[in-house]
Amino acid sequence: DAGVIQSPRHEVTEMGQEVTLRCKPISGHNSLFWYRQTMMRGLELLIYFNNNVPIDDSGMPEDRFSAKMPNASFSTLKIQPSEPRDSAVYFCASTRDSITYEQYFGPGTRLTVT
């Protein structure tokens, strides 16, 4: 199994530009999570999906952030417009519906907004 795949691995963009991060979960996993990691705030859950439906987006910082999961094998996290404070590492994780099943994390996308 290829594991959770994220792209791009690194993204540098200018303030005001639109940024789209992509995630392909592990086949057979029906829950997907987007996290953001910064030195100041640590690892924070932004949003999670179950069976492609957004369940909890309370962690999404503001309306500039949006996430979609059009099918079981693909999800996007979009920031429009981007700001320097959005600079962070964004992780995607997936898991099966099991109380004993761990979340598998992707390698992350390091976003830098200048």
Report the alpha-carbon distance of residue 86 to residue 32 in Å, rounded. Answer: 21
Terminal-residue alpha carbon distance, the chain: 36
Separation in Å, CA 32 to CA 14, 76, 114: 28, 11, 29
Residue closer to another protein (CB basis): 44 or 83 = 44
Cβ contact 21:77 at 8 Å = yes
The angle at the Cα of 20, spanning 8 to 94, to the nearest 5 degrees, equals 70
Work out how close the CB of 98 gets to another protein at its nearest, in angstroms, rounded to a whole number: 5
| Site residues, another protein (CB under 8 A) | 4, 30-31, 33, 42-45, 48, 50, 55-56, 91, 93, 95-108, 110
Work out how close the CB of 80 gets to another protein at its nearest, in angstroms, rounded to a whole number: 25
Residue closer to another protein (CB basis): 71 or 98 = 98
Residue closer to another protein (CB basis): 4 or 113 = 4
Cβ contact 93:106 at 8 Å = yes
Work out how close the CB of 99 gets to another protein at its nearest, in angstroms, rounded to a whole number: 5
Work out how close the CB of 86 gets to another protein at its nearest, in angstroms, rounded to a whole number: 19
Residue closer to another protein (CB basis): 37 or 81 = 37
